Amino acid sequence: MNGIGRGYAGKFLEVDLSREKISELKFDEDTLRKYVGGRGLAVKILWDRLGSKWDEIDPLGPENILTILTGPLTGYYPGGRVCVSGKSPQSNGIVGSTVGGEFGIELKCSGWDGIIVTGRASSPVYIFIKDDKVEIRDASHIWGLDGKQTIKVLTKELRNELQSKYPRYGSWREPAILYIGPAGENRCRIAAVMAKWTHAAGYGGYGAVMGSKNLKAIAVKGTGPLPEVHNPIKTYLLMHEVYKACIKRDNMRRWGTGSAGYYVGYALSSEPVRNWQEEWHNEKSFGVDAFERRVWIKRYWGDFGCPTTCLKIAIVRSGPYAGAITDNPDYELQAYLGTNLGIFTPEENVYVASVIDDLGLCGINAGNVLGFAAELYQRGILTKEDLDGIDLKWGNAKAFAELARKIALREGIGDILAEGTFRAAIKIGEMKGADVMKYAVQVKGIAVGAHGIRSGLDYPTPIAYACSVQGGDHTSVARLPLSSHGSEVIRILLDSAVICIFNYFSEPSLFWKMYEAVTGWHETPETWSSENGLRILNIQRAALLLGGPDFTWNPKIHDDNPPRFYEPLPSGPHAGKQVDKTEVEKLKKEYYEAVGWDENGIPKSEILRKLGLESVDKVLDKVRKKFESKS
């Protein structure tokens, strides 16, 4: 019952911050079978509670719900992640945003499958979970602290507390902590929910949601075992197979995604360079060998149970950026806080990434809006005066770091840029009386991941972002066939199970076997993508189309690429290539058909009823009527 014996602890924690009420929640097996956990279950919870009035819900109001959910495979299939969700202040839809670390493991070991946070605390608080004991506590002493300080203070005080409450236990280990930095506190729509200094649930803007609830952090220490699984022997044998498959991946282990900062630009012509004005570069100063020689001090770093350990730790020891510490940076941040800002040295890249981490900003969304602002500066649309004297020239690392700080604190122009590229483009456009949306490289309020589609050599297809239910999110892209490993519907299961995509790709077939060994439920890419996965996708689509309250998407306009992708690539071996609009329209049509959407991109009644989503169908009438009257 309630998933017990299938990889679930069997209960969820609900914390109502307005009423300071803590309660327990259970889901029946049918719900878990269909929605699994993580992203899928978040979609179910959000829709059930907010669906009928979705367009009126302010993502930053107390009526929004923040979910932090594990899945049945968390802790079993490496590596440990949790999925953060809610109504997104970026897309106004639902984004499943996963983050690595030990939080999910500690949570399950404390007997909880997930946390649902509602309401808003009247003053800053944090939540501390020690097994079945849950407390809402004052956080005024850590409000305002950056990431590194937040972890330092909370680790110290919570260990001291455990040590004095249970003195005979021996040495207490640190609890796992999810937290927000100043960016989340100030409700920047591009703020992330953070873990371990550098780990971020970035897409979706849930740092702002946490901040809007006055929730600075959640810390958890669980002393129990991971929950029981359906077939333990098979699970443990498969775990070994996964380890072996992961350990074989020399490239991924040795360099993580940190070799891509050079490679994706040089070899694939799909890396953002100076706000996507180019996607090719041949800057050998940005080669992975340079990162390794100059800044990496730990070659293999990983989260609980991960045999790949693709992360690395980097520090700048001397020079103007001395003291900057971050991870690799990984590819996305090498691109977005490196090449996209015209930065091509490891030291400057590590420096900007460490500033972004400490502020609790999403590196992708922040790098996107910083690049956008720099292009406006390049074109003379934003002036030094607009930027409070910051000389936002390409490659000026100090200037980008200073602007990031202003964003996190919502100072001056930072207050506008904190809204994210899409909303900033509207405001700056009005301010300057110019069309600046053409420089905004985003889809449905979400920055496009650092994988361009113009060269046709990288994995995203021409409709990858345009038709995704998570906008620009490069980890969840629209792709046919729906049962392919890279399709959004399959990614929904990975984010619901909740596991790491990179480890999935070590040997995908092992995941499906492990899913059955842990849960006892049989799924294949084909069954998942034709029923349970498709159901979750369609609810996400419905929420995205309902949107609101500040903005609602029109698929005819917004199921599309950023204008920049229709400009020809100006440089590199693939110069001249661009996305073909006719091809996009053709693929869109095929995709709509495959997922059951009508010619306006709205889920059809027929598919919704087939999937048992009558309530979604009913609410979507609102959207259908709107488009009928328009056309």
Report the interface residues with other proteins, using CB under 8 A: 75-76, 79, 102, 105, 109, 148, 151-152, 155, 159, 167-171, 173-174, 196-198, 222-226, 228, 232, 236, 239, 243-244, 247, 253, 297-298, 300-307, 309, 313, 315, 317, 322-323, 325
CA angle 141, 145, 148 (to 5 degrees): 120
For 487, phi and psi rounded to 5 degrees?
-80, 155
Q: What is the dihedral of CA 475, 480, 481, 487, to 10 degrees?
A: 10
Q: Are 41 and 48 in contact (CB under 8 A)?
A: no
Q: What is the token pair recorded at 476?
A: 């969840």
Q: CB of 176: closest distance to other proteins in angstroms?
A: 9
| Alpha carbon separation from 74 to 36, 66, 197, 518, 537 (Å, rounded) | 11, 19, 21, 10, 21
Q: Using the minimum distance from each CB to other proteins, give the nearer residue, 303 or 523.
A: 303
Q: Using the minimum distance from each CB to other proteins, give the nearer residue, 300 or 502.
A: 300
Q: CB of 356: closest distance to other proteins in angstroms?
A: 16
Q: CB of 559: closest distance to other proteins in angstroms?
A: 40
DSSP assignments along 57-80, one per residue: --TTSTTS-EEEE--TTBTTBSS-
Q: CB of 333: closest distance to other proteins in angstroms?
A: 16
Q: CB of 522: closest distance to other proteins in angstroms?
A: 23
Dihedral sign of CA atoms 591, 57, 67, 365 in order:
positive
CA–CA distance, 522 with 572 (Å, rounded to integer):
47
Q: Using the minimum distance from each CB to other proteins, give the nearer residue, 302 or 533.
A: 302
Q: Using the minimum distance from each CB to other proteins, give the nearer residue, 63 or 174.
A: 174
Q: Which residues contact 193 (CB under 8 A, 6 or more apart)?
A: 68, 84, 97, 99, 178, 179, 180, 184, 200, 201, 206, 207, 210
Q: Using the minimum distance from each CB to other proteins, give the nearer residue, 146 or 332.
A: 146
Q: CB of 221: closest distance to other proteins in angstroms?
A: 9
User: Cis link prior to 79 (omega < 30° from 0)?
Assistant: yes
Q: CB of 199: closest distance to other proteins in angstroms?
A: 9
Q: CB of 239: closest distance to other proteins in angstroms?
A: 8
Strand runs labelled E in 380-488:
442-443, 446-447
Look-up of token digits 């994988």: 451
Q: CB of 152: closest distance to other proteins in angstroms?
A: 6
Q: CB of 2: closest distance to other proteins in angstroms?
A: 19
CA–CA distance, 173 with 324 (Å, rounded to integer):
26
CA–CA distance, 38 with 40 (Å, rounded to integer):
6
Q: Using the minimum distance from each CB to other proteins, give the nearer residue, 300 or 627.
A: 300
Q: Using the minimum distance from each CB to other proteins, give the nearer residue, 171 or 629.
A: 171
Q: Using the minimum distance from each CB to other proteins, give the nearer residue, 78 or 371.
A: 78
Q: CB of 301: closest distance to other proteins in angstroms?
A: 6
CA–CA distance, 334 with 287 (Å, rounded to integer):
11
Q: Using the minimum distance from each CB to other proteins, give the nearer residue, 5 or 61.
A: 5
Q: Using the minimum distance from each CB to other proteins, give the nearer residue, 50 or 178.
A: 178
Q: CB of 503: closest distance to other proteins in angstroms?
A: 12
DSSP-derived 3-state class of residue 100: strand
Strand runs labelled E in 48-165:
66-69, 81-85, 97-100, 114-118, 125-130, 133-138
- Three-state SS sequence of 159-187: HHHHHHHCHHHCCCCCCEEEECCHHHHCC
Q: CB of 507: closest distance to other proteins in angstroms?
A: 16
Q: Are 166 and 172 in contact (CB under 8 A)?
A: yes
Q: Using the minimum distance from each CB to other proteins, give the nearer residue, 81 or 535.
A: 81
CA–CA distance, 573 with 270 (Å, rounded to integer):
11
Q: CB of 323: closest distance to other proteins in angstroms?
A: 5
The distance of Cα 453 from the centroid of its chain, to the nearest Å, equals 20
Q: Using the minimum distance from each CB to other proteins, give the nearer residue, 300 or 566.
A: 300
Q: Using the minimum distance from each CB to other proteins, give the nearer residue, 169 or 459.
A: 169
User: Which of 201, 86, 27, 14 shows the shortest CA–CA distance to 543?
Assistant: 86
Q: CB of 423: closest distance to other proteins in angstroms?
A: 32
Q: Using the minimum distance from each CB to other proteins, give the nearer residue, 304 or 372.
A: 304
Burial (CB < 10 A; 0-12, 13-18, 19+), residue 213, is: buried
User: Cis link prior to 62 (omega < 30° from 0)?
Assistant: no
Q: Using the minimum distance from each CB to other proteins, give the nearer residue, 174 or 507.
A: 174
User: Cis link prior to 78 (omega < 30° from 0)?
Assistant: no
CA–CA distance, 463 with 455 (Å, rounded to integer):
14
Q: Which strand ranges, in their side-by-side order, compose the sheet holding 325-327?
A: 296-301, 311-315, 325-327
